[in-house]
Amino acid sequence: MNNKGKDKDMSEKAIDLALVKQAQKGDIKAFELLVQRYQQKVGGVVSRLIKDYHEIQDVTQDVFIKVYKALPKFRGDSAFYTWIYRIAINTAKNYLVAKGRRIQNSDIEPTEAENYSGGFERQNFDTPDAEYERQEIEKVVHDSIAELPEDLKQAIVLREVEGMSYEEIAEKMDCPIGTVRSRIFRARDAIDNALKPLLKQEYKRENYVR
């Protein structure tokens, strides 16, 4: 993966974590942004198991209800998409069991499902406002990562982009695991603080329009 690809991957994961952190504090706007980012992917995962379009919509909605309820338990040990993917698969399977139907294609891998829409397309999210909002968030996160001290930046990149464990990062950076955890926490906190004003601004603007 080239540097540009790594930066984008880092930005996407950092955006997820920042939005999750805000949503965990009760910020509904942050959760709505997470839904916007993942509704199509979740619908695609569900459509691998369930074929009826209306049922896919219902199950996808149920997935996000479960995600919202389980959000306090998310600690960022895995990518947000991997976590939400597992919830989507289990919700779809449980739906089929409740309907007395056979479960097929249950061995879908997250990387395979991530780019599969199965005809389930996003609705009402590809507006100019939504695209502008996404670009604003991405820029803020990218800039905040670029401004991090080198030790914090290296730790968060190794964790979020390279997918290394805390032990592997500690060995690579030649420091205690506690230091690694502290650096990653501080990096995530810096990104969160950079994104917070933008989320508040978007929330106020949306409420003003209403």
Contacts (Cβ under 8 Å, ≥6 apart) of 159: 166, 169, 184
Which of these, 203, 193, 188, lies nearest to 26 by C-alpha position?
203
> How many helical (H) and strand (E) elements, i.e. helices and strands, does the chain have?
9, 0
Residue 191's alpha-carbon distances to 56, 78, 114, 117, 137, in angstroms, are 34, 18, 25, 30, 11
Give me the mean pLDDT over the 27-53 stretch.
87
Q: Write down the pLDDT at residue 188.
A: 86
User: What is the mean predicted confidence (pLDDT) over 99-114?
Assistant: 62
Q: How many domains does the chain have?
A: 1
pTM: 0.67
Contacts of 133 (CB under 8 A, 6+ apart): 33, 202
Round to whole Å and give the CA distance between 8 and 192. 17
CATH number for the domain that contains residue 129: 1.10.1740.10
Range of the domain at 28: 3-209
pLDDT over 90 for what percent of the chain?
A: 28
Question: In this model, does residue 109 exceed pLDDT 80?
Answer: no
pLDDT, mean of residues 181-193: 89
Q: What is the pLDDT of residue 144?
A: 86
Residue 174 has pLDDT above 70, yes or no: yes
Residue 122 is predicted with a pLDDT of: 46
Q: What is the reported pLDDT for 102?
A: 74
Residue 165's pLDDT band (boundaries 50, 70, 90)?
A: confident
Residue 63: what pLDDT?
A: 95
Per-residue confidence band for 53, with pLDDT thresholds at 50, 70 and 90 = confident
Task: Tell me the torsion sign for CA atoms 3, 5, 6, 10.
Answer: positive
pLDDT tens digits, one per residue of 120-140: 554 444 555 666 676 787 788
Say which amino acid occupies 62.
D
pLDDT at 142 over 90: no
pLDDT for position 200? 66
Split at pLDDT 50, 70, 90, the class of 210 is very low
